[in-house]
Amino acid sequence: MPKQTQASTILQQKWIARITHARAHWATFHKRVRHNRNTVAGFNWNADPTSKDFYSLRANLIHGTISAVLPNVYARNPEISIAPSHAGADIKLFCNTLEKVTNKSLEHAQLKNRAKATVRAALTCSFGILKVMYQRDPSKDGYIQGRINDAQENLLAIEELERGLRDDQSKQASKKAELEELIQSLQEQTEVHAAEGLVIDRVLTENLLIDPSICEFWDYLDADWICQVIPMKRGQAEALYKKNLASAKMYQPGQGEFSYKKAKRLASMHLDASTAPVADDQQIAVLEIWDRTTQRVYTMVEGANEWLREPYSPPRAGERWYPFFLLPYQVVDGQFVGPSLVDLTERLQEEHNETRDRFNQHRDLCIPGWVASADINEKTIKKHSDSRFGEITIVDTEGKPLNQVIIPRGHPKIDPIVYDTSAVRYDWEQVTGLQDAARSTVVRPKTATEANILQRALSGRVFEFKDQIEDWLQEIAQYSAQVLLQELSKEQVERYMGAPLSKTTMLDGKLTITQEKTFDWPELTKEKIFDLVDLRIRAGTTGAPDGIEEKEGWLKVLPMITNLSIQMQNLQARGMDYEHIRNLLRETLLRYDDRIDSNLFMPNIEKQAEGYVDPSLGINLFSERRQRVNIETSNNSNLLKEETGNDTGG
């Protein structure tokens, strides 16, 4: 065996042992993650789908709470603002270009859908994960689940079908028909031949294995390695990596649930595949290992002792090494895993539903009935039980008073205090931070003022999670901007910003056409790219907008903005310093809402316009100038007449 091959085999065995240990380390947490998902869903898949036991929860409060939290913390895409890192740098056009390109790219990558799903995962599973990649070439890119549709995927599918034709003789007819249809689709060119752009994938919480030596959550960026477990059909993997993977181990969701002893045994076996070969449609586990120590990415599959592709280094990564972005719900000091919303409220939901179920069982005992004396014969009792509404029932009491023969049956009294759920509701509000008004379950009538107080309390209590989301989105946007600066050419940026504008001007009596730049996209080194711009998420842009409050606030601040703008215009027209007014306007808008760009409301007058009236002096500058022009015209006319007269007289 050559030395290089032997070293590669040793390295592969080393990574197999690491992955096996990591699976055993995170097995308990991953089992809890699947339990939390089932708790939120509420389905009992072992029961008859037509029975009441199939969905046994009387009130799924956890799902309702998640649905209430989500729009308060993430309702729309964030507004990204980019400014120069250095105050003296004149790169305003470049910042505007990068801002627009980044916003458009994140929108095309479906950031909102992916991010909302990740926030939901954080509420359910303790933390959620996004992976940001740039799509260019399937054979050179890292694995991208949500690839942009192009003809390259069709070519991979063709290779998969061709391989199936050679391997599986029994299904040649069906695979041949699929292959013909796919080739026909490719010839018709219904998709772009080779699409590229920013792509955002969502990674399931249990499909990311992090170096177990990391103890606190925010240290994951310093982990020596992170491995993404990618469930993939065998035929698809063979077409993508050009390898025969018949010996690969079949992937089973939840296969990480085994003891450490079993893990060691599997490690000694090098995760050998099962005896039965894996079919094309069965899933295998592809492992994409990002090793920060060596700055390399390793790709392998469980059950096969070879690299699916040669180890490589990402050519155009961002300033941070890992493309994975983790969002936690709660962070606990000294521990990597914090409690999710499901963990905090599961017992409260059970207590609430048990109380309500017992109340209903007690209520079922209160069925109206009668208690009859044993002396009454069965025929009389039956006649009484068969009586209808409005019917006169005759009972033979044999001379005894009726109230001594048959009386209404009593039932155990219901004590409302025993079945009161207000204590559970109080604990729920303390844990989740959601008040009655926020959950649309107002227990007693509240005024608009009380509802406003509750909404402010909600905003304060979920602010920490919302702040974490904005920091998380800012990291994603910063990383995306760094990748785009390295990947996009000027021709690609022009598609986002538009071609240069033609501007026509009159210069020295000649018509001149000049080109005005619509964007600026320099070619820079990585170091300059990382230090050039400062990217920020405008605070509060991800939450649900409050239309009424925003309109009322805008109506209050609008007269002040208008007054300051007029003062600046007057001072500028008179040649006086107006910087103090500009600073006042900027600070006013910043205090009102830091999402507003104050430059949009600042006039930029280079020359005093004709017809401008200075309100402080009451002088009509237009009239004054017009009088000057009339006087000059009159003087020139008189002079011309005198010269003409002299010439005639001569």
Q: Give per-residue pLDDT as tens, 546-588.
A: 555 666 777 777 888 888 888 888 887 787 887 888 888 878 8
Residue 73 CA: distances (Å) to CA of 435, 459, 544 = 15, 9, 7
**pLDDT at residue 129 greater than cutoff 80:** yes
- Calculate mean pLDDT across residues 53-64: 90
CA–CA separation, 291 and 211 (whole Å): 10
Contact yes or no for 198/484 (Cβ under 8 A)? yes
- Calculate mean pLDDT across residues 513-528: 75
Name the pLDDT band for 268 (thresholds 50, 70, 90): very low
Pure H helices in 254-312: 260-268
Q: Which of 31-40, 63-72, 135-144, 579-588 has the highest mean pLDDT?
A: 31-40
**pLDDT at residue 257 greater than cutoff 70:** no
Name the pLDDT band for 114 (thresholds 50, 70, 90): very high
Q: Which of 182-191, 255-264, 305-314, 632-641 has the highest mean pLDDT?
A: 305-314
* Of the listed ranges 70-74, 139-143, 228-232, 302-306, the one predicted with least confidence: 139-143
- Calculate mean pLDDT across residues 474-490: 89
- Calculate mean pLDDT across residues 372-399: 69
Mapping DSSP to helix (H, G, I), strand (E, B) and coil, where does residue 611 land? coil
The mean pLDDT value of the chain amounts to 75
Name the pLDDT band for 609 (thresholds 50, 70, 90): very low
CA–CA separation, 252 and 105 (whole Å): 35
What per-residue confidence (pLDDT) applies to 93?
83
List pLDDT tens digits, range 188-245.
555 444 568 889 999 999 999 999 999 899 999 999 999 999 998 888 888 788 888 8
What's at 329, amino acid-wise?
A: Y
Number of C-beta neighbours around residue 134 at 10 A:
24
- Residue 140 token pair: 């050179």
Higher pLDDT, 396 or 2: 396
Contact yes or no for 79/540 (Cβ under 8 A)? no
Could you tell me what percent of the chain has a pLDDT over 70?
A: 66
**pLDDT at residue 378 greater than cutoff 60:** yes
**pLDDT at residue 443 greater than cutoff 70:** no
What per-residue confidence (pLDDT) applies to 341?
93
CA–CA separation, 532 and 528 (whole Å): 6
Higher pLDDT, 28 or 452: 28
What per-residue confidence (pLDDT) applies to 383?
63
Higher pLDDT, 441 or 26: 26
Residue located via tokens 């946007």: 477
Name the pLDDT band for 165 (thresholds 50, 70, 90): low
What per-residue confidence (pLDDT) applies to 227?
95
Residue located via tokens 């994960």: 129
Contact yes or no for 270/16 (Cβ under 8 A)? yes
Contact yes or no for 100/493 (Cβ under 8 A)? no
**pLDDT at residue 640 greater than cutoff 50:** no
What per-residue confidence (pLDDT) applies to 584?
85
List pLDDT tens digits, range 319-332.
888 999 999 998 99
Q: What is the DSSP string of 503-539?
A: EEEEETTEEEEEEEPS-------HHHHHHHEEEEEPT
**pLDDT at residue 502 greater than cutoff 80:** no
- Calculate mean pLDDT across residues 117-123: 94
- Calculate mean pLDDT across residues 451-475: 71
Instruction: Name 407's bridge partners.
Output: 371
pTM of the model: 0.73
CA–CA separation, 124 and 205 (whole Å): 10
* Of the listed ranges 77-81, 199-203, 376-380, 588-592, the one predicted with least confidence: 376-380
Name the pLDDT band for 598 (thresholds 50, 70, 90): low
Relative orientation angle of helices 61-73 and 111-125, to the nearest 10 degrees: 140
What per-residue confidence (pLDDT) applies to 5?
74
Contacts of 448 (CB under 8 A, 6+ apart): none
Contacts of 122 (CB under 8 A, 6+ apart): 128, 327, 328, 329, 340
List pLDDT tens digits, range 184-200.
655 555 544 456 888 99
Residue 99 CA: distances (Å) to CA of 415, 493, 537, 542 = 63, 12, 11, 17
Task: Choose among 321, 309, 319: nearest CA to 141.
Answer: 309
CA–CA separation, 121 and 325 (whole Å): 13
- Calculate mean pLDDT across residues 431-435: 73
Contact yes or no for 330/338 (Cβ under 8 A)? yes
Q: Which of 175-189, 220-234, 384-398 has the highest mean pLDDT?
A: 220-234
Task: Name the CA radius of gyration of the chain, rounded.
Answer: 37
List pLDDT tens digits, range 405-428.
788 877 788 888 888 888 988 888
Could you tell me what percent of the chain has a pLDDT over 90?
A: 22
- Residue 214 token pair: 């990391």
Phi, psi (degrees; rounded to nearest 5) at 332: -110, 135
Mapping DSSP to helix (H, G, I), strand (E, B) and coil, where does residue 300 land? strand
**pLDDT at residue 346 greater than cutoff 50:** yes
Number of C-beta neighbours around residue 592 at 10 A:
15
CA–CA separation, 248 and 202 (whole Å): 25
Instruction: Quote the DSSP letter at residue 43.
Output: B
List pLDDT tens digits, range 531-549.
766 777 765 566 655 555 6
CA–CA separation, 267 and 250 (whole Å): 16
